[in-house]
Chains A and B, each alone.
Chain A
Amino acid sequence: MKPGPTWSYDDAPLKPRFRSQGGKQGSDGARGRSVAAYALLVVPFVFLLIFYFYPLVGIARASLLGLDHLDLAPLMARLISPGILRVIRFTFWQALLSTVLTLVLALPGAYVFARYRFPGKQMIQALVTVPFVLPAVVVAAAFNTVLGPTSGLSRWLGVDLRYTLAAILIAHVFYNYAVVVRMVRGFWSTLDPYLEEAARTLGASPWRVFWEITLPLLLPVVVTAGALVFIFCFTSFGVVLILGGPRFATLEVEIYRQTINFANLPLAAALSLMQILFTLVMTSVYARLQRHISRPLELKPQWATERSPRTPLEIGFLAVNILVMVVLLALPLLTLVIRSFGAGLQYYATLFEDSRQGVFYVPPLAAVGNSLKIALMTTGLALALGLMTSLATYRRGSSWLIDALFMLPLGTSAVTLGLGYLLTMDRPPLALRGTVALIMFAHTLVALPFVVRSILPSLQSIQPNLREAAALLGASPVRVLAEVELPIAWRALAVGAVFAFTISMGEFGATSMIARPEMPTIPVAIYRFLSRPGSLNYGQALAMSTILMVVCVVGFVAIERLRPPGPQAF
């Protein structure tokens, strides 16, 4: 699973800003609405049951397959092999290293964004977020280019950094820099600078102010951001698969290899089960941490806390941080684009050619067609399900159970999901294996939490008296929806749609497990091109990555533009 935009930065948008009064007063109308709300939930719930819980059950069954009675010994025997233990150790180790490295680099960046006002700040801030929305294959392709033997960096260092731990770590920092910056900056910028100033006038040196005041106050949010980065890196798939090469495998990659390369489904299922347990534990830790972030402090608006850098030291500090951002974040993407034009327009031109080289060769244009088709269908389905879920949740007033239920897929890795589909979707009435529809269902499941999180806060921000006024003026509930609620929430619907579309375009983990070889999507095609020899294949991978990157960046810009003002959630 790509460490994509999967988590909320703060839980504020999940809480209703204006409590809906329906359902609380126990009047007939309210009860009627509550029943209608549950009816709305039926379809999304059935979807979740079939395409989320059922595959998970399939994994659990497969990993205990062949056991007449409940005996965990064979399962343990499969898992406790030196090879698997090494994979588990490496998964933790690389996640830990990536997290520490990301925090070290991103915390100063968060400070700069939280406290300084400087020209181009908005733009750089947006730029920093771009990597976060890029598909893992694009990132892997970019770093493949930057770290590969022909790049300036490798020639300068005299080593090929591809297929090393360093490559994995750098790509993870690239991905998660924005996570830390956005989470920590958001909190830091509301920290009252007077606290630090008060400490200074009371005789604390700048260093002591940091240790005694700033750090303790920031610690909850830093730890939470670190936990999130750790989860992302722990479940990282595309980056490790492509940049790590055959020597490195995380649990995710191992599940993929055991499935695709060795067809050892029982072992893959056992690994998946373990992966599910790990992520479940980490996610609940994260959720606990997140609740502790908000201290009852006097929060300041950002404009009141930021200022221009003054001393040469401050200006230098700012410059170094911006340099880090540019080198770390912009350079790989620029290199990718430039190299994709390495042979003029040839790489792009050949995307349109149909030069069959092998049995499984599929023209690139077909992959683009597949991706677009799947993305459009995903958008439609995710929007419909998301709207039903949001309306039901909002009509009832918020319910943590519904929230939790529909956010659950966020905590499940895409590769695991793919494996679950492989194991369960092969028998009627669900003989969907190898169909485009199955890919669409997988993408919808991944996208659904984002769609809900886009739409729900916007609906909840509608003041109840607006609905009441419309009703008093004679509007039926359907009319209220059509005339008041949806027109107010249309931007959120658009954001949800763009989210669904870009997530589907970039999804790699689940797709790589379930897509038939002759039905690749763009990310799958990029992966295939990258793993084949020859500069033309490589160039075509870069060209497709560039196209996909542009699609995602356009989507990202659209989301930023359309997003209703207010607290941001991903």
Chain B
Amino acid sequence: MTFLEIDAICKTYDGAPLLRDVSLSVERGEIISLLGASGSGKTTLLRIIAGLEVSESGRVLLDGQDMTHIPVHQRGVVLMFQEYALFPHRTVAENVGFGLRMQGRPRSEIQARVSEMLGLVGLAGFDGRSVVQLSGGERQRVALARSLAPEPGLLLLDEPLGSLDRNLRERLLEDLALILRRVGVTAIVVTHDQTEAFSLADRVALLHDARVVQVGAPETIYRRPATPWVARFLGLTNLLPAVRVARDQVDTALGSLSLDSAQWTVGTASTDGYGRGIVLIPPWGIHLTDEGARANVFTATVSRAIFQGRTTELWLRTGETTLALTLELTDGTPRVGAAVRVWIDPGTLCWFQSDPEAPPDAVTQMRS
């Protein structure tokens, strides 16, 4: 059964829409990640769910109950703030025990639970410390312990690793994923970082332009982005203007490409349709080949080769057009000026139909 139901939430900020008809459902025990660029309304959605902000329309249902008129402190929804919002006048233990005290639990029980929580986050023995003296990573753990201690029905995490520096982030990301799984809490994690979203969440909801543009398991989203924006957001930049001339055929500047639409499981409208559009060639769909002329094999000149460690970015010129293609190479990088043959795997290609309203050159602008 759906545990949290977000139903057609609308919110504007200074007249500009921040959330447009946002709907989302979360199962009990599920961890959902809200992924989007900054300013995409992710945090606002969290605050609406917590009751800290009021939406202009739409409802939030928790366990079937409409939350509209339930005050923040009675919702059983805990929000872990990006900067943690630890109470500076309280010790670590007092911070962690705060929610339990609000529930009126007996002192001995609070003490036991606080110790248990501090143990869980790896801060056993920190009870009497002042939160002011803690390091960034320790604060993050205290905030997590404080949020988990009252056993919230729903835990909301706003950029839980956003205030930490890069190295610490990678380490704490694993811990956080592990702890959330172990506790089995239902959670929504807001992040702008896809690695975080993918490693924490069962499902990812992508927010763009005040809307949810795609919801799905991390792998589905990565393999089959629903829109060119999603593809670019995830770092898949091989987007070429194309015209779909047949069910499994598009014309691009590279030449005619075959697709394998049978592989498409995502039933979004953009995967159907004909005419002007964009084709996505993911890096894992491009292979250097020695084969002769056949479908999806092209000859190109390497105009630039940028070694980037695990991947190499090759700029290939065919005729009048220059295309940048990122590919994963196992053996040597081709020299600049060399002629190469590439094969593009039809099963990996994605097709997006252009918005019929959009001006014709919108497609080319996407490349720049």
List residues of chain A with CB under 8 Å of any chain B CB: 192, 194-195, 197-206, 208, 212-213, 216-217, 295-298, 310
Q: Which 7 A-B pairs have the closest CB atoms?
A: A203-B102, A202-B99, A198-B85, A194-B85, A200-B72, A201-B79, A194-B81
Instruction: Please tell me if the beta carbons of B89 and A199 are within 8 angstroms of each other in the complex.
Output: no
Closest Cβ of chain B to A178, distance in Å, is 27
A148 to B87, CA, bound (A): 50
Among A208, A212, A216, A310, residue most surrounded by chain B Cβ atoms (within 10 Å)? A212
Instruction: Please tell me if the beta carbons of B83 and A201 are within 8 angstroms of each other in the complex.
Output: no
In the complex, chain B residues whose CB is within 8 Å of the CB of A295: 88-89, 132
In the complex, chain A residues whose CB is within 8 Å of the CB of B88: 195, 217, 295-297
Closest Cβ of chain A to B90, distance in Å, is 9
Interface size on B, residues (CB 8 A): 28
Q: A208-B102, A296-B132, A310-B54 are in contact. Are A201 and B77 (CB under 8 A)?
A: yes
Instruction: Please tell me if the beta carbons of B103 and A203 are within 8 angstroms of each other in the complex.
Output: yes
CB of B346 within 8 Å of the partner chain? no
Closest Cβ of chain A to B103, distance in Å, is 6
Instruction: Point out the residue from A194, A201, A217, A297 that lies within 8 Å of B73, measured CB to CB.
Output: A201
Instruction: Point out the residue from A194, A203, A205, A296 that lies within 8 Å of B99, measured CB to CB.
Output: A203
In the complex, chain B residues whose CB is within 8 Å of the CB of A200: 52, 72-73
In the complex, chain A residues whose CB is within 8 Å of the CB of B132: 295-296
Instruction: Point out the residue from B73, B83, B146 that lies within 8 Å of A204, measured CB to CB.
Output: B73
Among B71, B77, B88, residue most surrounded by chain A Cβ atoms (within 10 Å)? B88
Instruction: Point out the residue from A198, A296, A297 that lies within 8 Å of B79, measured CB to CB.
Output: A198
Instruction: Please tell me if the beta carbons of A298 and B83 are within 8 angstroms of each other in the complex.
Output: yes
A295 to B54, CA, bound (A): 32
Instruction: Point out the residue from A199, A205, A206 that lies within 8 Å of B98, measured CB to CB.
Output: A199
Closest Cβ of chain B to A88, distance in Å, is 37
CB closest chain-B residue, reference A297: B88
Instruction: Please tell me if the beta carbons of B87 and A213 are within 8 angstroms of each other in the complex.
Output: yes
Instruction: Point out the residue from A199, A205, A206, A208 that lies within 8 Å of B87, measured CB to CB.
Output: A199
Instruction: Please tell me if the beta carbons of B89 and A217 are within 8 angstroms of each other in the complex.
Output: yes
20 A-B Cβ contacts within 8 A? A192-B85, A194-B81, A194-B83, A194-B85, A195-B88, A200-B72, A201-B50, A201-B77, A201-B78, A202-B102, A203-B73, A203-B76, A203-B150, A204-B98, A205-B71, A206-B73, A216-B89, A295-B89, A295-B132, A296-B88
Instruction: Please tell me if the beta carbons of B79 and A197 are within 8 angstroms of each other in the complex.
Output: yes
A213 to B88, CA, bound (A): 9
Closest Cβ of chain A to B159, distance in Å, is 13
Instruction: Please tell me if the beta carbons of A202 and B98 are within 8 angstroms of each other in the complex.
Output: yes
In the complex, chain B residues whose CB is within 8 Å of the CB of A203: 73-74, 76, 99, 102-103, 150
A192 to B82, CA, bound (A): 12
In the complex, chain A residues whose CB is within 8 Å of the CB of B73: 200-206
Among B71, B83, B89, B150, residue most surrounded by chain A Cβ atoms (within 10 Å)? B89
Closest Cβ of chain A to B243, distance in Å, is 49
Closest Cβ of chain B to A252, distance in Å, is 38
A200 to B53, CA, bound (A): 12
Closest Cβ of chain B to A565, distance in Å, is 25
CB closest chain-B residue, reference A192: B85
A253 to B209, CA, bound (A): 69
In the complex, chain B residues whose CB is within 8 Å of the CB of A201: 50-52, 72-73, 75, 77-79, 156
Instruction: Please tell me if the beta carbons of A202 and B146 are within 8 angstroms of each other in the complex.
Output: yes
Which of B99-128 touch A at CB < 8 Å? 99, 102-103
Which of B154-168 touch A at CB < 8 Å? 156
Instruction: Please tell me if the beta carbons of A198 and B81 are within 8 angstroms of each other in the complex.
Output: yes
In the complex, chain B residues whose CB is within 8 Å of the CB of A212: 98
Q: A197-B81, A198-B79, A298-B83 are in contact. Are A204 and B102 (CB under 8 A)?
A: yes
In the complex, chain B residues whose CB is within 8 Å of the CB of A213: 87
A206 to B74, CA, bound (A): 11
A522 to B348, CA, bound (A): 90
A199 to B81, CA, bound (A): 11
A216 to B72, CA, bound (A): 21
A297 to B51, CA, bound (A): 25
Q: A194-B81, A194-B83, A296-B132 are in contact. Are A202 and B89 (CB under 8 A)?
A: no
CB closest chain-A residue, reference B143: A198
Closest Cβ of chain A to B44, distance in Å, is 13
In the complex, chain B residues whose CB is within 8 Å of the CB of A198: 79, 81, 85, 87
In the complex, chain A residues whose CB is within 8 Å of the CB of B81: 194, 197-198
Among B71, B77, B85, residue most surrounded by chain A Cβ atoms (within 10 Å)? B85
A315 to B362, CA, bound (A): 47
Closest Cβ of chain A to B41, distance in Å, is 17
Closest Cβ of chain A to B178, distance in Å, is 23
Closest Cβ of chain B to A217, distance in Å, is 6
Closest Cβ of chain B to A308, distance in Å, is 11
Closest Cβ of chain B to A115, distance in Å, is 14
A298 to B81, CA, bound (A): 13
Instruction: Please tell me if the beta carbons of B150 and A195 are within 8 angstroms of each other in the complex.
Output: no
In the complex, chain A residues whose CB is within 8 Å of the CB of B85: 192, 194-195, 197-198
A541 to B85, CA, bound (A): 55
In the complex, chain A residues whose CB is within 8 Å of the CB of B74: 203
A194 to B50, CA, bound (A): 13
A192 to B89, CA, bound (A): 13
Beyond the given A201-B77, A202-B73, please list 7 additional residue pairs across the A-B interface where CB-CB is below 8 A.
Answer: A192-B85, A194-B83, A197-B52, A199-B98, A202-B98, A203-B150, A297-B88
